Chain A
Amino acid sequence: MSFALVRLDDRLLHGQVVYGWGRELRPACYLIVDDAVAEDPWERAAYEATETGGAAVEIAAVAAFAGEWRRWAEHSATVLLLRRPPTLAALWAGGFRPEQDVNLGGLHGEAGSREILPYVHLLPGEAEQLRQLAQAGCRFFAQDVPQGASIGHAALLARLQPPARRREAGD
């Protein structure tokens, strides 16, 4: 059971996803799993109005998706979009186990965040959250757009180390 793509992106469904990944993967559906969007009719309407080239846009709350993720994964033509690591951690705690590596694709800088890659900025606690998920068996890769370079699981984990340890390791 797999998805076309499982992506962490704080913009959720936007240009890079639709015009970049969408044209590469040709998904039948973009599924946004996010409580803030699911609970706000205006937000829902805005994302549902996205011009996707024919793919459906579905929106689900985290708890609802955690109970039915296997059904979604059966289609294998769904791009799953999560806002930031805490959503993935919540889903993982609820039994979510994607077959493929999870894409870190667009986590933008905010006050207090640390740059891991130009398009991956982690808030306090998120690097540790990702490391714990990796220890539990979740695998990751970082890539913003299909034509961009892909950073594999091991290289990405090395970047998630606290800065002091990375200096010791000569990174």
Chain B
Amino acid sequence: MTGGEPPAVLITHGGLGEELRRTAEAILGPQTGLAVVSNAGVSLEALRAELAAAVPADRPAVLFVDLLGGSCGHACLPLRREREALLVVSGVNLPMLLEFLYHRGRVPLGELRERILSRGRDGIRASGWEGLS
């Protein structure tokens, strides 16, 4: 089962999440169920409250976080503890976000999870500087 289109929240430092959403919508078109929460200028408690309000309580959802172990990641902790249906993914990048947005609602949640991770990792390559010490 796909469980419908799971919503997502981009929880990031500064304006990164908003720019990711803007860029993803420029590529895939307008998106519903894609919220943005920024850590700019707010305490951890305020960040957690804003995040809790942005995440639906009654169905699976994905929290995309930029830095593992930063304030954004720590803000996800209480929700992850309380809601088993949440998936928290760190190191958010454009390839994984596009993969999620395109495939949500089309593939089962387990497959969606693997697609997010594999596309996010596969999007990281390097070309040049070979042989430099």
Contact = CB atoms under 8 A, between A and B. Distances in A.
A46 B43 contact: no
A132 interface: no
Given A42-B81, A46-B74, A18 B43 contact: no
Contact of B70 (A15, A42, A108, A110): A15
A154 B117 CA distance: 50
Contact of A11 (B68, B71, B77): B71
Contacts, number: 51
A46 B73 contact: yes
B64 to A, nearest CB: 16
B68 A110 contact: no
Interface in B34-76: 41-46, 67-71, 73-74
B77 A42 contact: yes
Interface SS of chain A: loop
A16 B120 CA distance: 24
B74 A47 contact: yes
B69 A49 contact: yes
B44 A43 contact: no
Report the contact-size class of chain B (Cβ under 8 Å from the partner).
10 to 19
Interface in A22-58: 42-43, 46-47, 49-52
B39 to A, nearest CB: 8
B37 to A, nearest CB: 14
B13 interface: yes
A91 interface: no
A11 B81 contact: no
A13 interface: yes
Nearest to B40: A108
Given A13-B69, A15-B13, A49-B68, A108 B74 contact: no
Contacts of A101: none
B68 A10 contact: no
Contacts of A43: 74, 77
Given A12-B44, A47-B69, 15 more contacts: A10-B44, A10-B45, A14-B71, A42-B81, A43-B77, A46-B69, A47-B74, A49-B69, A51-B69, A108-B44, A109-B41, A109-B42, A109-B43, A110-B46, A118-B41
